[in-house]
Amino acid sequence: MQKYFKVIVNPKFCYLAPRNGLHTSMGEEVSRSLGRKVRFIHPKFFYDEEGSKLFEEICSLPEYYLTRSEMEILDSIGLELSQFLVQDYALIELGSGSAKKTRLLLEVLTGRQESVEYYPIDISDVLKESSASLQRDYKNLKITGILGQYESGLDFIKSLEQKKLIAFLGSSLGNFDYKSAIKLLKKIHDTMNPKDLFLLGLDLVKDKRILENAYDDFQGVTSRFNLNLLTRINNELGGNFDLKSFEHLAFYNSKHNRIEMHLRSKGEQEIFISKINLSIKLKKSETILTEYSYKYTIPQIEQIANKVGFKIEKIWYDKNKFFSLILFSA
């Protein structure tokens, strides 16, 4: 379990951060993943301060239907969701980000409970800003933010005596391949007690053009978001990536039902990352994989639920049936 220390901001708002920080593990992971024959950078490293801002911009783009679709569902299910909540629940959220969608869940909980405990788990420092904003707007809310990886955050909240509503929104599970997704879902399942609930947002398989446009927008915001990964490595790990030497590439892989995002080298080049003492050579058109975003069918969701041990209590859809929210019990 990750060792945390507590920072008290006020009696109703504190956050926990790992004692040794997050950047050492970032350096180790980048060294490992860029040093392989098939090079990649884990998508969790998108979300530094600039990356988080760019992602918020992406969420408002006309092509990016995911956030609008999920917000539409969350905005409409309050009464139904409330019927599943027996007694009081603490809200735990994986990858809370700016917490815009969180507010729709808090409206349900604060409307029926005298007080609500909220535990956002996120690798990005935006967690502190979003938590402070929520604390200002919800007077009966107590927040303990956990800055770190999902797995260590789940270890921390496993011992909570309260009933838990765990939320994993935004189709973030789509960033995990099947084996890794099952592993994380089992971790979540093991965290849950019999009355706990798990609310999962998943993007659904649909027309290829709709999918590809969502990840390669006309304004080029997703391109800047993707390239910002290289800027982050330059700033934090002493890299010398030249962003003008790379281009954003996104396409739908129909065999695996996933969007793939890459950074493609425009020519032969050599990069050195000083803090991890890593030198790599790229050929022209060679790519660095930055994200998988898997899309699901309902039979796949049912199969996964059975494999992990979840019971599906309810599935909600947006009006276009582009997106789904699934409520599981353990």
Q: Is residue 60 part of a domain?
A: no
The domain spanning residue 138 has which CATH number?
3.40.50.150
Query: How much is the pLDDT for 7?
Result: 67
| Pair of tokens at residue 176 | 């995990």
229 pLDDT higher than 70: yes
Within a domain: residue 58? no
Residue 262 has pLDDT above 70, yes or no: yes
Residues 311 and 323 in one domain: yes
Rounded to an integer, what distance in angstroms lies between the CA atom of residue 273 and that of residue 241? 8
pLDDT digits (tens, 9 = 90+) for 113-131: 999 999 999 877 778 888 8
The reported pLDDT for the residue numbered 9 is 66
**201 and 219 both lie in a single domain:** no
The percentage of the chain sitting over the pLDDT mark of 90, rounded to a whole number, equals 78
Beta bridge partner(s), residue 155: none
Q: What is the pLDDT of residues 49-97, one digit of tens each?
A: 899 899 999 999 999 999 999 999 999 999 999 999 988 999 999 988 7
* Among 141, 146, 20, 17, CA closest to 93: 146
Query: What distance in Å separates the CA atoms of residue 255 and residue 305, rounded to the nearest whole number?
Result: 22
**Does position 149 have pLDDT exceeding 70, yes or no?**
yes
User: How many C-beta atoms lie closer than 10 Å to residue 277's C-beta?
Assistant: 10
What is the domain extent for residue 198? Answer: 4-9+65-205+297-329
Mean pLDDT of the chain: 92
Backbone dihedral angles phi then psi of residue 63, each to the nearest 5 degrees = -75, -25
What pLDDT, on a 0 to 100 scale, did the predictor assign at position 129?
Answer: 84
Specify whether the CB–CB gap between 4 and 14 falls below 8 A.
no
| 19 falls within a domain | no
* Confidence class for position 139, pLDDT limits 50, 70, 90: confident
Mean pLDDT to the nearest integer, 7-33 = 74
Res 316: pLDDT: 98
- pLDDT (0 to 100) of residue 210: 98
CA dihedral sign, ordered 184, 291, 69, 170: positive
Q: How many CB atoms lie within 10 A of CB 21?
A: 10
Q: How far is CA 298 from CA 104, 149, 324, in A?
A: 25, 28, 9
Q: What is the edge-to-edge ordering of all strands in the sheet holding 197-203?
A: 4-10, 13-18, 141-147, 116-122, 89-94, 163-168, 197-203, 323-329, 311-317
* Closest by Cα among 60, 78, 70, 62 to 101: 70
What pLDDT does residue 64 have?
Answer: 98
The answer on 324 and 186 residing in a single domain is: yes
131 and 262 assigned to the same domain: no
State the distance between the two ends of the chain, measured CA to CA, in whole angstroms: 23
- For 163-206, the pLDDT digits (tens) are 999 999 999 999 999 999 999 999 999 999 999 999 999 999 99
Same domain for 159 and 306?
A: yes
Evaluate whether residue 17 is within a structural domain.
no
Contacts of 112 (CB under 8 A, 6+ apart): 82, 85
267 & 303 share domain: no
Question: Are residues 313 and 302 part of one domain?
Answer: yes
Q: What distance lies between CA 145 and its chain's CA centroid?
A: 15
Count the domains in the chain: 2
Bigger pLDDT: 262 vs 13: 262
Say whether both 313 and 239 belong to one domain: no
The DSSP secondary structure of 8-59, one letter per residue, reads EEETTEEEEEETT-SHHHHHHHHHHHHTSSS-B--GGGG-SHHHHHHHHHHH
Higher local confidence (pLDDT), 14 or 327:
327
Q: Which residues contact 14 (CB under 8 A, 6 or more apart)?
A: 6, 7, 8, 143, 144, 145
Query: For the chain, where are the alpha helices, taking DSSP H only?
Result: 23-34, 49-59, 65-76, 78-84, 100-110, 126-137, 150-157, 178-191, 208-214, 221-237, 298-308
Indicate the pLDDT class of residue 99, thresholds 50, 70 and 90. Answer: confident
The answer to whether residues 285 and 212 belong to one domain is yes
